[in-house]
């Protein structure tokens, strides 16, 4: 079994970190995992993306042409990558930064106001964690408990006080996604 | 020991430290900067030498000097930086002193770009600098493999008094994977019969690469060749996947090799008897094993992120016994498994003839897209 997750957004929205949280959780759950960032000139221009591959066996390519899951945090990334998601796949869009719906009906998608939900949970910088919760509600590759354990184990000590807020953000994202999902037709 | 997530460049740096690295010299270049950055604090912390030099030629000459003392020394760079080091590398080879070089390849030629490439295969494997020498080159395909090969690289460099290069590309340098790091080895400084480590109370050791007396230079070349032949006989490394019943074999090293693993698994799922051969020592190259595989395979597919540089080594082993196909992406483009899957399907549909020129046919296909 192998699952790939693609994450994209502006620099500063935490897409790289969200990918790493998934990776740590996958590792701690005993899985093989790769995390590969875009490190080219495009990241200097403000957008960032990374791909996480989670598998039960030795991972071949760390990149895939059509990932079955994606988190898109801003409009330029949605315009660029919407068509890339594999038919039947899952797409999470941060509607706080994207003012249109997903145009496809062959994928399961949900628009989540990640920034607003993060702010309700206590810190708008947790938009990436809200999106991660939304993804895992629709793609059960890891559980929310796995993510909580990974945050607890790998967050730097000085940030440990933020753990309860992050767990709350994660759950709120998952809950919102379950209620607003558009299933693939 | 528990697995930890590490970025490739940093993992390689820590693995070198744990293998007893005593002195590192470097100069920044993307996509290998994290090696330098990591060692800039890690080495002083352990009381070991770290120097960020003023240029790559300065780096390699510092490495040269430190290598002459018998210490475990290393530098790392990326393609254009490696080119700048070639004169010094040739002097190191000619002086018969050990060093480890890490090349995190990027798109080229020229300044190129910072994307993953395998365009330096010829330069790294076939010498690069002037003169008749053969560096040992290991091409890991994952961070764990790179980490496991770091102590091996130092051992081989010292055993064969040669340059041992770890050849990876920007994708392995930049990605993160869970790994198990090896235990910390103590720094061991042996009294080598050749090292210039202080001559008090013993005969002086002279290390040089200048032999104005021509017959002595020929003898030196033969001595280098003798050690190289030993390396060829003893240091072949590779990894095989699904080869037991394979009728078709994909051959690729490093990142192209691991991408091919995804493609081979997909082709297996479609019922095709396909296997993967991934050379790890690309110099010395596993010619014999490739030759053996000709007996079971109907056809080979060679995949690279260059114009077919390793293909020439595969062809030297195959010698037109079976048909071959080549697929390469260039200039920093990382192929997707889908591209290799398509190539595998095409190969099975039409294996071609043994005397077809795979590089020529690939070029025609590329130009027709």
| pLDDT per residue as tens digits for the range A70-95 | 999 999 999 999 999 999 999 999 99
Kindly report the average pLDDT of chain B as a whole number.
Answer: 97
Mean pLDDT in residue range A6-35: 96
Residue A41's pLDDT is: 65
Backbone phi, psi, residue B249, to 5°? -125, 125
- Is the Cβ pair B175, A37 closer than 8 Å? yes
Tell whether A34 is within 8 A of chain B (Cβ).
yes
Whole-angstrom distance, CA of residue B72 vs CA of residue B20: 7
pLDDT of B221 strictly over 90: yes
- Is the Cβ pair A64, B337 closer than 8 Å? yes
Residue A172 contacts by C-beta under 8 Å, 6 or more apart in sequence? A117, A120, A121, A130, A133
Q: Is A6 helix (H, G, I), strand (E, B) or coil?
A: strand
User: Predicted confidence band at A9 (pLDDT cuts at 50, 70, 90)?
Assistant: very high
Q: Is the separation of the CB atoms in B341 and B327 below 8 Å?
A: no
Q: Tell the burial category of B159 from Cβ atoms under 10 Å away from its Cβ (0-12, 13-18, 19+).
A: middle
SS (H, E, C) B36-78: HHHHHHHHHHCCCEEEECCCHHHHHHHHHHHHCCCCCEEEEEC
Quick one: which of A122, A131, A148 has its CA closest to A29?
Answer: A148
- Is the Cβ pair B258, A27 closer than 8 Å? no
Residue B206's pLDDT is: 96
Structure tokens at B120: 């330096």
Structure tokens at A147: 């993510």
Chain A: give the shortest CA distance to residue B213, in Å.
Answer: 50
Whole-angstrom distance, CA of residue B294 vs CA of residue B323: 10
- Is the Cβ pair B178, A32 closer than 8 Å? yes
Q: What is the CA radius of gyration of chain A?
A: 15
pLDDT of B341 strictly over 90: yes
Mean pLDDT in residue range B246-272: 98
> Could you tell me the CATH number of the domain that includes residue A68?
3.40.920.10
Is A69 a member of any domain?
yes
Residue A11's pLDDT is: 87
Q: Which residue of B has its CA nearest to A33?
A: B177
Q: How many residues does chain B have?
A: 369
Range of the domain at A18: 2-180
Q: Which residue of B has its CA nearest to A54?
A: B177
Percent pLDDT > 90 in chain B is 98
Chain B: give the shortest CA distance to residue A31, in Å.
Answer: 9
Structure tokens at B168: 């990876």
Residue linked to tokens 């990142």: B255
- Is the Cβ pair A20, B176 closer than 8 Å? yes
- Is the Cβ pair B265, A60 closer than 8 Å? yes
Write down the ipTM of this complex. Answer: 0.95
The sheet that has B4-7: what strands, in order across it? A108-112, A90-94, A69-72, A2-10, A47-55, A32-37, B176-179, B4-7
The 10s digit of each residue's pLDDT in B110-144 is 999 999 999 999 999 998 999 999 999 999 999 99
Residue A156's pLDDT is: 87
Tell whether A27 is within 8 A of chain B (Cβ).
yes
Of A34, A36, A60, the CB nearest to B337: A60
B-chain CB neighbours of A35 within 8 Å are 5, 175-177
Residue B188's pLDDT is: 84
Interaxial angle between packed helices B86-95 and B56-67, expressed in degrees from 0 to 180 and rounded to the nearest 10: 10
Mean pLDDT in residue range B282-310: 98
Chain A: give the shortest CA distance to residue B71, in Å.
Answer: 34
pTM: 0.97
A-chain CB neighbours of B175 within 8 Å are 34-37, 62
Is A56 a member of any domain?
yes
Tell whether A163 is within 8 A of chain B (Cβ).
no
Q: Which residue of A has its CA nearest to B258?
A: A60
Q: How many CB atoms lie within 10 A of CB B340?
A: 27
Structure tokens at B286: 């596993």
Is A153 a member of any domain?
yes
Residue A42's pLDDT is: 62
Whole-angstrom distance, CA of residue A144 vs CA of residue A26: 12
Do B4-234 and B239-368 agree at the fold level?
yes
Angle among Cα B336, B342, B347 to the nearest 5 degrees reads 130
CATH class of the domain defined by B239-368: alpha beta
User: Predicted confidence band at A44 (pLDDT cuts at 50, 70, 90)?
Assistant: low
pLDDT of A43 strictly over 70: no
Tell whether A6 is within 8 A of chain B (Cβ).
no
Q: Is A69 helix (H, G, I), strand (E, B) or coil?
A: strand
A-chain CB neighbours of B259 within 8 Å are 60-61, 63
Mean pLDDT in residue range A133-153: 96
- Is the Cβ pair B170, A60 closer than 8 Å? no
| Candidates 3.40.630.30, 3.40.50.970, 3.40.50.800, 2.60.40.420; CATH matching B4-234 | 3.40.50.970
Residue A45's pLDDT is: 58
Residue B327's pLDDT is: 98
Chain A: give the shortest CA distance to residue B115, in Å.
Answer: 7
Mean pLDDT in residue range A158-181: 96
B-chain CB neighbours of A62 within 8 Å are 171, 175, 258
A-chain CB neighbours of B254 within 8 Å are none
pLDDT of B1 strictly over 70: no
Percent pLDDT > 90 in chain A is 90
Is A185 a member of any domain?
no
Mean pLDDT in residue range B254-271: 98
Residue A16's pLDDT is: 95
Q: Is the separation of the CB atoms in A142 and A178 below 8 Å?
A: no
Whole-angstrom distance, CA of residue B57 vs CA of residue B37: 19
Chain A: give the shortest CA distance to residue B261, in Å.
Answer: 5
Of A27, A34, A154, the CB nearest to B3: A27
SS (H, E, C) chain B: CCCEEEEHHHHHHHHHHHCCCCEEEECCCCCCHHHHHHHHHHHHHCCCEEEECCCHHHHHHHHHHHHCCCCCEEEEECHHHHHHCHHHHHHHHHHCCCEEEEEEEECCCCCCCCCECCCCHHHHHCCCCCCCCCCEEECCCCHHHHHHHHHHHHHHHHHHCCEEEEEEEHHHHHCEEEECCCCCCCCCCCCCCCCCCCCCCCCCCCCCCCCCCHHHHHHHHHHHHHHHHHHHHHCCCEEEECCCCCCEEEECCHHHHHHHHHHHHHHHHCCCCEEEEEECEEECCCHHHHHHHHHHCCEEEEEECCCCHHHHHHHHHHCCCCCEEEEECCCCCCCCHHHHHHHHHHHHHCCCCCCCCHHHHHHHHHHHC
- Is the Cβ pair A61, B261 closer than 8 Å? yes
The 10s digit of each residue's pLDDT in B25-45 is 999 999 999 999 999 999 999
User: Where along chain B do its domains lie?
Assistant: 4-234, 239-368
- Is the Cβ pair B336, A65 closer than 8 Å? yes
Chain A with chain B: Cβ pairs closer than 8 A: 71
- What is the total count of domains within chain A? 1
B-chain CB neighbours of A151 within 8 Å are none
pLDDT of B259 strictly over 70: yes
Whether omega for the bond prior to residue B284 falls within 30 degrees of 0, making it cis, is yes
Mean pLDDT in residue range B61-89: 98
Of A34, A64, A65, the CB nearest to B177: A34
């Amino acid at each position: 079994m192998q699952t790939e997750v693609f994450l994209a957004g502006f620099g500063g929205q935490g897409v790289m970190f969200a990918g790493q949280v998934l990776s740590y959780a996958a590792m701690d759950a005993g899985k093989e995992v790769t995390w590969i960032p875009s490190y080219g000139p495009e990241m200097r221009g403000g957008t960032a993306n990374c791909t996480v591959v989670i598998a039960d066996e030795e991972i071949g390519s760390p990149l895939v042409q059509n990932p079955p899951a994606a988190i898109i945090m801003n409009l330029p990334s949605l315009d660029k990558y919407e068509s890339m998601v594999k038919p039947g796949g899952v797409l999470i869009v941060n509607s706080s930064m994207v003012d249109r719906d997903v145009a496809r009906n062959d994928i399961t998608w949900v628009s989540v106001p990640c920034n607003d939900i993060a702010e309700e949970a206590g810190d708008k910088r947790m938009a990436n964690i809200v999106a991660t919760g939304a993804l895992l509600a629709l793609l059960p590759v890891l559980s929310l408990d796995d993510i909580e354990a990974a945050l607890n184990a790998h967050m730097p000590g000085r940030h440990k006080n933020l753990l309860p807020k992050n767990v709350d953000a994660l759950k709120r994202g998952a809950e919102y996604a379950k209620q607003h999902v558009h299933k693939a037709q | 020991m528990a697995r930890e997530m590490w970025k490739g460049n940093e993992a390689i740096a820590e693995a070198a430290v744990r293998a007893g690295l005593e002195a590192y010299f470097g100069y920044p270049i993307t996509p290998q900067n994290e090696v330098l950055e990591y060692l800039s604090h890690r080495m002083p912390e352990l009381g070991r030498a770290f120097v960020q030099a003023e240029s790559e030629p300065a780096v390699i000459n510092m490495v040269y000097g430190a290598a002459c003392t018998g210490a475990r020394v290393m530098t790392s760079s990326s393609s254009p930086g490696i080119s700048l080091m070639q004169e010094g590398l040739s002097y190191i080879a000619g002086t018969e002193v050990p060093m480890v070089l890490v090349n995190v390849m990027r798109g080229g030629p020229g300044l190129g770009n910072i994307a993953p490439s395998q365009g330096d295969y010829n330069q790294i494997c076939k010498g690069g600098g002037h003169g008749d020498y053969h560096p040992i080159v290991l091409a890991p395909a994952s961070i764990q493999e790179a980490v496991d090969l770091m102590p091996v690289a130092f051992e081989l460099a010292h055993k064969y008094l040669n340059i041992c290069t770890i050849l990876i590309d920007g994708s392995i340098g930049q990605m993160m994977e869970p790994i198990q790091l090896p235990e910390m080895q103590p720094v061991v400084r042996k009294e080598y019969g050749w090292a210039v480590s202080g001559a008090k109370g013993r005969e002086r050791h002279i290390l040089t690469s200048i032999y104005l007396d021509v017959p002595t230079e020929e003898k030196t070349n033969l001595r280098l060749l003798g050690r190289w032949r030993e390396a060829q006989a003893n240091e072949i490394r590779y990894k095989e996947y699904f080869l037991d019943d394979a009728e078709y074999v994909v051959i690729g090293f490093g990142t192209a090799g691991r991408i091919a693993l995804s493609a081979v698994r997909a082709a297996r799922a479609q019922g095709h008897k396909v296997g993967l051969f991934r050379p790890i020592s690309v110099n010395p190259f596993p010619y014999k094993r490739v030759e053996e595989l000709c007996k079971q395979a109907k056809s080979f597919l060679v995949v690279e992120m260059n114009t077919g540089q390793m293909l020439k080594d595969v062809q030297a082993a195959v010698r037109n016994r079976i048909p071959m196909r080549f697929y390469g992406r260039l200039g920093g483009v990382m192929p997707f498994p889908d591209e290799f899957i398509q190539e595998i399907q095409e190969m099975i549909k039409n294996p071609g003839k043994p005397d077809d020129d795979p590089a020529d046919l690939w070029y025609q296909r590329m130009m027709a897209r």
